[in-house]
Structures are given as structure tokens and as C-alpha cells.
Amino acid sequence: MPPARARALRPLSPSPSYIPAAHSACILSSVPRAPHDLAKGRGRRYFVPDRERERERRARAASMGQEAVAGNGVAGGTKKPHAVVVPYPLQGHVIPAVHLALRLAERGFAVTFVNTESVHHQTSRAMLGAGADDAAHGGGGDIFAGVSARRAAASEPELDVRYELVSDGFPLGFDRSLNHDQFMEGILHVLPAHVEELLRRVVVAEDPATTCLVVDTFFVWPATLARKLGVPYVSFWTEPAIIFSLYYHMDLLTKHGHFNCGKEPRKDTITYIPGVPSIEPTELMSYLQETDTTSVVHRIIFKAFDEAHRADYVLCNTVEELEPSTIAALRAEKPFYAVGPIFPAGFARSAVATSMWAESDCSRWLDAQPARSVLYISFGSYAHVTRHELHEIAAGVLASGARFLWVLRPDVVSSDDPDPLPEGFKDAAAGRGLVVPWCCQVEVLSHAAVGGFLTHCGWNSILESVWAGVPMLCFPLLTDQLTNRRLVAKEWRAGVSIGDRGAVDAGEVRARIEGVMGGEEGVKLREQVGKLRATLEAAVAPGGSSRGNFDEFVDVLKRRCGGGGGQ
């Protein structure tokens, strides 16, 4: 892969077309700025492209041998398509977007990947904190450098992936987790202006010309901006199709009195969403169960799905065989492609830097444990738990007697509560438990010692657990996770629920752990997860549904932009 450029734009004043004056004052003037952010730009990294390297990169891209071009699916003399990929600035969204970008590059696309300065800064700091080699893994520069190194070592053709940075409107020292609503206001009102300035430059100046925007569905601007720039909008949905469908049909939920209806919502079963035979109101995403719909997140959801209705195409990180009726109904409304699961090549540690925390190496500890004896516990990269919930889970884990590996993110309760475990927990668990701040999840789930996964039900975690053949204990915390649990525990029977009555109890946690980690229940769950794993493997194999859907999408887009079809 050619050396990718990493450039950051200067912070913009928010565009009047995107941000009302009241919001401008609220967001920008009240941001607490750390001293290092104010000292002549220190605390921010600005990357200037090496002009000579850039000329060399363009020359290599232009003179790629016929064999490499044919392998990438672009016939000689045809226009090379160029996709600009913009992930939502949260780790769970960046990871699948990275691997989608690589898939597109492998199919002959030039790809410009747009990351926020904040996400880039966190991933760079995490790599260096874990002792990663700066040059080989993009520390402080190009996060795709590791892909370039791997492909060069394997004598594989270079990929044309360019890397751009954009400010989200906040200084790097701003705590986006602790100040969630303020951060979301910035995403709603400030970030779009920064992205538009960057994309206007990329679309006009880049070679080849931009032919599509592949943008996370949760952004509030992509269809509007794509129309301005005269390119198609490809909406990239990182969650299951059922979640997309429920948000897409919020008007039906309102019409029937189940959501945003100005009164107490109905509690009866929902049976009118196309492709969703039935769902209970308590199984809806948390934001669709709330009666106050004036929050910043609700405003983002409403605007984002107004834009999604205008998308030219939708790519969804799911598998057709897992959600056939939902996908069929969505496909009747617009071009909808199930192309999941989107994983790193070989379901191994990614060559691209995407982790926002330094990863602990747990392999030596896991190697010393018996097969299927370890319960892996993680609540993902974004969601938070209360101290009470954490203490009940900790008590249940201790009472179960199970070995465990617990990933306890430093801000899992709050950024200002770095040690939330009960006093004496680590001493009581000594010899059978390991607590780490972060790890490489695909490596842990793939280890023979792991026999169960106590998860928050983030979609990436569910797909990874299924691929690894590990049954789940489902403890959803917010948003899509409640509906994801329904898929895992009710429809697929690949896991069990914890806290489904609205509260978590140590006794229930102990009983669920004992059931999954041993006995007949655990055997049945592993059998079911094994069947689901086979479904995922078949979908991405030659002739599989996801492989075929991605091929079809690539061909359609290449024909639309004049880049030719065919494989």
C-alpha cells in the first residue's frame, strides 16, 4: 500500500448553515480547554504530507501492473472508482468501517478514509502505550501502515488507501465520555462543517475523482452533502438489520402509539413493522422506549434517518440468513446489501490501529487455564454501568467459582471513578481471575480456554463471539443492545439473559454463569452457536450470500461511475 497521507484541518468556526448561534455559544465557549491544548497547538498533532512521497505514491498507483489491476477487478483503461469512507467517531463504528474500506480497496477502489483527530490521537496513544512499533503500526501517523507492511511481506499488490484527519470541534483534552451530551451536540452541529470543507477539497482535487461517499448512517448530513457534491450516498449500517428497520419505520411506531406519540406509549406487542413479525416494546432500542424525545441523541437519530431515507444504497454488517425477513422487507424499499460479518482478515489481530486503549497481552494467562473454563467479561468501548450493577456482577462472578478474564475499561463507570470494583475483590479472586483495562477481543474469544462471554451485546461483540463459537450471557446496557439481546437469547438461542427484569442481581449472575459454563445448558448453547458460526462462515465463502451481495454492490457502483463491472 502506498504511504497514505495524514493531514489535519485547522479547527473551523462552525458554519452558520449547520449551527444556530445558541448552540455555538453553548458548545464552543463552554468547552473546558486543558492548558496543553492552548499552548500554540501543543497537544494536537498536525500531519503534513511528504510531497515527494505523495508524487511517488501517485506514480505507483498510476502505473500498477496489469496483473495487479486485473486482480483488483478494474480493467485496463477504465475509470478507477474512488470511495470516501467516513466512520462515526466511536470505536465500535470505526472498526467495521476500517475493514470495509480495505475490502473496497482490494476490489480496485481508491479509498480515502476520514478519521477524527480525537479518535486518531487515542488510537496512536494506545498503540504506543502498548509498546507497538511506531512505524509499522502507524503510531502518530497512518493507521493503515501495518496493512502496507503485511502486504509487502506477502508480495501482494499495494492498496490505494489515503488517510485524512478532521477536527470534531473539540480539543484533544476534552473528555468526550464524561461530557457525552456536549460531545453529541458537537457531532450534530459542528462536525458537519469540518467534514464538508475536507470533502469539497477531496472531491475536487483528488485523482481519481470521488465517485461515492460511504458514510456511517448515524451522521446527520451525508445525503444532503452527497447531493451537493454530485455523488451517491452509501449508508453504512454497523448494526443488525432489525435495528435499521425499527429506526427507519419510526413513523409507524408513532402512528400506532408506541413511540413519540405525545402520551404514555402502548405496551402491547408490535406487529406492523415490515419484516419484523413481532417485537415487545421492552425489546426496542432504549431510545425508542423513552418518552422525552427532545434529547440530543433523539435529534441525531431523527435527522440521521431522514438522511437514510434518501440514501442511494445501504451496506449492512449482518448476514442474510440471520435476518431473512427483515432484510427482504428493507430490500423492497431500497438497494440494501447484507455484507457481514466484517472482520479483520483471518479473524486475527487487525493490522490497522483501531483500539482506543492499550491492549494487555492475556495469552500467557489463558494458556495456563483448562479448555472452556474461562468466562470472558467485557462491556465494550462505549457503554457505562453503575457501581451497583458492577458490584452485583462482581459478587455473582465470585460466587460462581468460575475462572474469569474481566476487561474493565478505565471509564466503565465514569472517567472520574477509575477503580470501581468492590474492595477486596481482586484478593478474593486471586488465582482464578485476571482483570485488565483492555485487550484484543478477537484473540481472547478465539482462545481454547474461553467458554463463555458475559457481554453488553454490542453488535461487533456478538458477531465475534458467534464466529469464535462462544455462547453469551447477555447484559445489555443501552440503545441497540436491548434488541440485540432479543436476537441472541430469544431468536437464535445462542445465549442467556441477565437482568431482563430491569435490575441485575448477584444470585441471578451466579446461576447464569454456572448454567453456561457447565452442565447441559452450556452444551446446548455451544451446539447452537456452532450452527450460527457455520452460517457466518458460509456467508463469506465463495458463493455465499454476503460475498455475493458485496460483489453485486461493487459491480453496481462501478457501472454507475463508469469504472466497469466484473470480478
Q: What is the CATH number of the domain that holds 220?
A: 3.40.50
Residue 449 pLDDT more than 80? yes
Is pLDDT at 500 greater than 80 in this prediction? no
Does the pLDDT at position 566 exceed 60?
A: no
Residues 6+ apart with CB under 8 A from 450: 366, 372, 374, 375, 376, 405, 444, 468, 470
Q: How many of the other CB atoms lie within 10 Å of CB of 291?
A: 11
322 and 431: one domain? no
Peptide linkage before 208 cis (omega within 30 of 0): yes
Nearest to 439 by CA among 380, 367, 512: 380
Judging by DSSP bridges, how do beta strands 433-436 and 403-407 pair with one another? parallel
How much is the pLDDT for 354?
82
**Which CATH number covers residue 286?**
3.40.50.2000
How many structural domains comprise the chain? 3
Note whether 81 and 222 are same-domain residues: yes
Q: Last residue of some domain: 189, 223, 238?
A: 238
When pLDDT is cut at 50, 70 and 90, the band that residue 563 belongs to is: low
Give yes or no for residue 45 having a pLDDT over 70.
no
Q: Which H or E element spans position 85? A: strand 82-86
Asked if residue 205 and residue 249 are part of one domain, the reply reads no
The CA–CA distances, whole Å, from 386 to 292, 389, 413, 504 equal: 22, 5, 6, 11
Q: Label residue 202 by pLDDT band (50, 70, 90).
A: confident
Neighbouring C-alpha atoms within 13 Å toward the C-beta of 450: 27
Residues 196 and 124 reside in one and the same domain: yes
The mean of the pLDDT values for the chain is: 84
- Partners of 360 in the beta sheet? 439
Q: Does 526 fall in a domain?
A: no
Q: Is residue 356 part of a domain?
A: no
Q: Are residues 166 and 315 in the same domain?
A: no
Residues 81 and 127 in one domain: yes
Query: Can the peptide bond before residue 16 be classed as cis, meaning omega within 30 degrees of 0?
Result: no
pLDDT tens digits, one per residue of 67-99 = 333 333 344 446 789 999 999 999 999 999 999
What are the helix (H) ranges across 350-497?
A: 363-367, 387-400, 425-428, 441-446, 459-468, 481-485
Q: Does any domain span residue 8? A: no
Query: What end-to-end distance do the CA atoms of the chain give, in Å?
Result: 21
pLDDT at 474 over 60: yes
Which residues fall within 8 angstroms of residue 524, CB to CB, at 6 or more apart? 493
3-state secondary structure of 219: coil
- 509 and 376 co-located in one domain: yes
CA distance 327 to 276: 10
Q: Note whether 254 and 214 are same-domain residues.
A: no
For residue 352, being part of any structural domain is answered with no
The C-alpha atoms of residue 223 and residue 249 are separated, in whole angstroms, by 18
State residue 215 phi and psi, 5-degree precision: -130, 140
Domain range enclosing 260? 242-340+543-554
169-194 confidence digits (pLDDT tens) = 999 999 998 899 999 999 999 999 99
pLDDT of residue 412: 86
**Does any domain span residue 473?**
yes
Question: Residue 44 and residue 244: Cα distance in Å, rounded?
Answer: 36
Q: What is the pLDDT of residue 556?
A: 95
State which of 203, 238, 273 marks the end of a domain.
238
Choose the weakest-confidence range: 12-26, 90-104, 542-556: 12-26
Summarize pLDDT for 337-382 with one digit per residue, the tens: 999 999 877 776 777 878 888 899 999 999 999 999 999 999 988 8
- Strand order of the β-sheet with 233-237 is 161-166, 110-116, 82-86, 212-216, 233-237, 313-316, 336-338
Cell numbers representing residue 516 in the block: 453456561
pLDDT at 454: 98
Higher pLDDT, 502 or 480: 480
- For 234, the enclosing helix (H) or strand (E) is strand 233-237
Q: Which of 72, 146, 83, 89 is nearest to 112 (CA)?
A: 83
Q: What is the mean pLDDT of residues 200-211?
A: 84
Identify which of 478, 475, 430 has the alpha carbon closest to the alpha carbon of residue 452: 475
pLDDT exceeds cutoff 60 at 440: yes
Establish if 531 belongs to a structural domain. Answer: no
Amino acid 355: pLDDT: 84
Phi and psi, residue 421, nearest 5°: -65, 150
Q: What is the DSSP letter of 3?
A: P
What is the pLDDT, as a whole number, of residue 130? 52
In this structure, the answer to whether residues 35 and 182 fall within a common structural domain is yes
Q: Which residues contact 56 (CB under 8 A, 6 or more apart)?
A: 2, 3
Check residue 488 and give its pLDDT: 98
C-alpha closest to that of 340 among 526, 535, 110, 108: 535
Q: What is the torsional sign of CA 187, 188, 194, 198? A: positive
Rounded to 10 deg, the angle between the 191-205 and 222-229 helix axes is 30
Distance of CA 552 to the CA centre of its chain: 23
505-549 pLDDT tens trace: 999 999 999 999 998 999 999 999 999 999 999 999 999 999 999
What is the reported pLDDT for 283?
A: 97
Confidence of residue 155 (pLDDT cuts 50, 70, 90): confident
Does the structure show a pLDDT above 70 at 145?
yes
Percent with pLDDT over 70 in the chain? 83
Give pLDDT tens digits for 214-238: 999 999 999 999 999 999 999 999 9
Last residue of a domain, one of 214, 238, 262: 238
Alpha-carbon separation of residue 376 from 335, 366, 372, 422, 451 (angstroms): 38, 11, 10, 19, 8
* pLDDT recorded at residue 502: 66
For residue 387, what pLDDT is reported? 92
Q: Are residues 280 and 411 in the same domain?
A: no
Does residue 357 belong to any structural domain of this protein? no
- 218 and 249, same domain (yes or no): no
Query: 497 with 376, same domain?
Result: yes
CA distance 270 to 189: 34
- In the predicted structure, residue 551 carries a pLDDT above the cut 90: yes
Among candidate residues 382, 505, 363, 373, the one with its CA nearest the CA of residue 436: 363
349 assigned to some structural domain: no
